[in-house]
């Protein structure tokens, strides 16, 4: 079982603020890292799959970076909107047994109008 | 396109009863997963199936069994339900274990009394 830490646990921001979260994981035997967005009463939806050190992904106002050598990934949201309110989960997988992705406990973002 | 379909959506069991949660995907995915989600915690992997005919334990397999019936279907069985198994259960699938995004079903809310 991987030790996956996400910080902060929760975040409250005003509409228009930019924000970022952190996902930390063991750097050895890295295989891939997933970011998911999970709205209340819905199912998790994939945002990004990242596999290479230095990888950067972007989808609209949301972007992510990956540092596999030091074992962390950042998720950025530019100009937060109320519809961005959700829990953001990261899930790294390591080693040859890549099916055993471990989810962090998530960062819950609340964007106030 | 239905994606990942789970049944039932809600279930109440008495301690000691058994039941099977059904999951089917229509995306021709090779890999399928069962997770549980408890309050304040992220998703924890119960079992997964990297491909048809194979299954493997995740983080929290005790008290559960799985069957990969064919490429489309992956069921989760509770042989003797316990209150500690009260949780929300999610089934997911992906094209390749660990390296591609997973698609989640809508979840099954199970209460064991």
User: Given the structure tokens 């339900």, which residue do they identify?
Assistant: B81
| A94 has pLDDT over 80 | no
User: Given the structure tokens 């030091």, which residue do they identify?
Assistant: A70
**Which of B3, B62, B98 best probes binding to A when mutated, by most A CB atoms within 10 angstroms?**
B98
Q: What is the pLDDT of residue A29?
A: 78
B111 vs A1, more confident: B111
| B63 has pLDDT over 60 | yes
- Please answer whether residues B63 and B82 qualify as being in contact, where contact means their C-beta atoms are separated by less than 8 angstroms: yes
| B68 has pLDDT over 80 | yes
Residues B32, B62: Cα–Cα separation, whole Å = 18
CA-closest candidate to residue B46, choices B35, B38, B37: B35
Mean pLDDT confidence for B84-99? 88
Nearest to A32 among B33, B90, B99 (CB): B99
CB contact under 8 A, A104 and B42: yes
A2 vs B108, more confident: B108
CA distances B68 to A42, A48, B93, B99, B104, Å, are 25, 27, 12, 20, 17
> Strand, coil or helix: what is B108?
strand
| A100 has pLDDT over 70 | no
Q: What is the mean pLDDT of chain B?
A: 92
Q: What is the pLDDT of residues A11-29, one digit of tens each?
A: 999 999 999 999 999 888 7
Nearest to A99 among B41, B48, B101 (CB): B48
CB contact under 8 A, A31 and B98: yes
Q: What is the pLDDT of residue A28?
A: 81
Q: What is the pLDDT of residues A42-79, one digit of tens each?
A: 999 999 999 888 889 999 999 999 999 999 999 999 99
């Amino acid at each position: 079982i991987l030790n996956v830490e996400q910080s902060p646990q929760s975040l409250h921001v005003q509409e228009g603020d930019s924000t970022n979260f952190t996902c930390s994981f063991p750097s050895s035997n890295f295989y891939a890292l997933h970011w998911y967005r999970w709205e209340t009463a819905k199912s998790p939806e994939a945002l990004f799959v990242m596999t290479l050190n230095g990888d950067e992904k972007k989808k609209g106002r949301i972007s992510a970076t990956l540092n596999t050598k030091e074992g962390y990934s950042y998720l950025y949201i530019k100009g937060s909107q109320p519809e961005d309110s959700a829990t953001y989960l990261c899930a790294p997988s390591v080693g040859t047994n890549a099916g055993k992705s471990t989810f962090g406990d998530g960062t819950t973002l609340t964007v106030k109008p | 396109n239905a994606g990942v379909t789970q049944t039932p959506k809600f279930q109440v069991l008495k301690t000691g009863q058994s039941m099977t949660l059904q999951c089917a995907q229509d995306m021709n995915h090779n890999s399928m997963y069962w997770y549980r989600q408890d309050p304040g915690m992220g998703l924890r992997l119960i079992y997964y199936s990297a491909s048809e005919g194979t299954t493997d334990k995740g983080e929290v397999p005790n008290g559960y069994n799985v069957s990969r019936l064919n490429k489309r279907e992956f069921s989760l069985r509770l042989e003797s339900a316990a209150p500690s198994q009260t949780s929300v259960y999610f089934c997911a699938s992906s094209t390749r274990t660990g390296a591609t995004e997973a698609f989640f079903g809508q979840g099954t809310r199970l209460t064991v009394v």
